[in-house]
Amino acid sequence: MRTVPVLLSLGLCLMSACSEIVEITVSEEVINPCYLGNGVEWDPYDEALSWGRDLSEEDWATLYERLDYMQPQYVRCMINSPFTYYTGSGFDDERNSGNLLKLLTYCQSRGIMVVYGEYNPPTWEMKGSQEWVQASVRHLNWLVADKGFDCIKHFVIFNEPDGNWASTNGDFAFWKEMVGRFSEEMAKYPVLKEKVSLAGPDAVIDYHNPASEYDAAGWLKATVDQVPQIGIYDMHAYPGQRYVRSGEFQERLSALKELTDRPIILGEAGFKYFSDPADSLLAREYWKRVEGHPFTKGSDCNMLVYDVFYALDMPLLAMSVMNSGFSGAAAWMLDDAMHSNGDSGATEDIKLWGMWNTLGSEVFNDPSQEDVRPWYYTWSLMCKSFPSGSRILKLEGPMPEGLAAVAAQTPSGSYSLAFVNFGDRPRTVSVKLPSAPEGYDVQLFTDKLYQPQPFSGKITLPSQSFALISL
């Protein structure tokens, strides 16, 4: 297994640029007074056993090291019950639980909030089964009360219930009924009643299932108006590049946030480069890479996670989340070794979306897949530098086209700012903090992450770069 590379020297990358200075002031105006934080989807490798190769202790040690660097503020962890506690004829909480217990033990030890749930019922025919409701809640209680994993704060009962790929097939009334039934069952367990709330609706932004009466905004509004059992709102988002870079995606999130004054998080977040003609060159490259690929058919993957530009797109998405008033985003996803398309167990069509593939050597005969990909570094900085409890602050000053930024005051009282220059020219930015800049550093990412350098109040971002200012 390869570990996190040593960061390279910044050298001359912070050279002066021949451009006018962009002046930015971190104001005291609060966008979000208590940001929950950025994190990642980390599922417990349910299919690894079916692939004939579970994770080794060395694999887990490497995962822990990489996650310790990232410091995710929350983890979304979803299971597939046919691979875990559903035996095919009954229910067994201990069945294939080893990886899940290791994952939750890590989150518990690091104080990471977990949004936990099930992708679907054990079989689609069981979607309304009270036997499943009872077994699912009993399994949740086994984890939280019996095993002590009170890092689990929220519970998802159906993944993306608005989708035509889900057992619910967009039936809001049915989903609402099941929320009520799960809530009633959870109330029977004192620990769950006290410590765990339901998350929903888990709907996909900018998607509308023709079989559903609501689009994603409608699902959220109906949930706010009709489903009081929900403790935290969560949505999913897979925008295109132009959509995010134009600012339209942030506008969409802001409109959704106006529907409630309670926290909303993105339970899944990533990019899909297919629906917008402006992204056609990216889509063409995607399908070129899929053709003849040995372990994905392109059914549900992102072949561009290897590219440097993805290390700019993902923090840019996070900036949209933070500046819109949302309360967090979990990147889809940590590791290619977590899922096959349709949870079929087929190693020739995995969901290739991750920051690496832990089983690249053992299952896929390609050790290079175990290397960390560029977006791991920038997403890690968006997690660790904006910890849970941060106050997201408004930035004042004109932001030129091709430049985006976000600022926060952390619980310690210091400030963190992130910038993405996705334009075709360097940008020199003068930053006015509410306090003196002494002690602050700049970290720069272009094609790699450079060693921190002292911040003196002004930075230069090369074209196609990411920078972070923090104490």
pLDDT at 7 over 60: no
pLDDT at 11 over 60: no
pLDDT at 353 over 80: yes
The owner of tokens 């002690």 is: 439
Report the share of the chain in percent with pLDDT over 90: 92
Q: Which band of pLDDT confidence, cut at 50, 70 and 90, is reported for residue 6?
A: very low
Give pLDDT, residue 2: 42
CA–CA gap between residue 137 and residue 101 (Å, rounded): 17
Give pLDDT, residue 1: 42
Is 259 buried (19+), middle (13-18) or exposed (0-12) by CB count in 10 A?
middle
Give pLDDT, residue 439: 95
Q: Which band of pLDDT confidence, cut at 50, 70 and 90, is reported for residue 344?
A: confident
The mean pLDDT value of the chain amounts to 95
In tens, the pLDDT along 382-396 reads 999 999 999 999 999
Task: Please indicate, yes or no, whether the overall pTM of this predicted structure exceeds 0.85.
Answer: yes
CATH homologous superfamily of 21-29+390-470: Golgi alpha-mannosidase II (2.60.40.1180)
pLDDT at 61 over 80: yes
Give pLDDT, residue 19: 56
| Domain regions of the chain by residue span | 21-29+390-470, 36-384
CA–CA gap between residue 45 and residue 463 (Å, rounded): 38
Give pLDDT, residue 418: 98
pLDDT at 113 over 90: yes
In tens, the pLDDT along 121-180 reads 999 999 999 999 999 999 999 999 999 999 999 999 999 999 999 999 999 999 999 999
CATH homologous superfamily of 36-384: Glycosidases (3.20.20.80)
Give pLDDT, residue 16: 41
CB within 8 Å of 78: residues ≥ 6 apart: 41, 43, 116, 117, 118, 119, 156, 159
pLDDT at 3 over 50: no
Give pLDDT, residue 60: 98
Give pLDDT, residue 326: 98
Q: Which band of pLDDT confidence, cut at 50, 70 and 90, is reported for residue 49?
A: confident
Give pLDDT, residue 164: 97
The Cβ of residue 8 has, within 10 Å, a number of other Cβ atoms equal to 11
Nearest to 441 by CA among 390, 385, 377, 389: 385
Give pLDDT, residue 20: 86
Give pLDDT, residue 153: 98
The Cβ of residue 389 has, within 10 Å, a number of other Cβ atoms equal to 16
Task: Judge if the upstream peptide bond of residue 201 is cis by omega within 30 degrees of 0.
Answer: yes
Nearest to 219 by CA among 263, 256, 267: 256
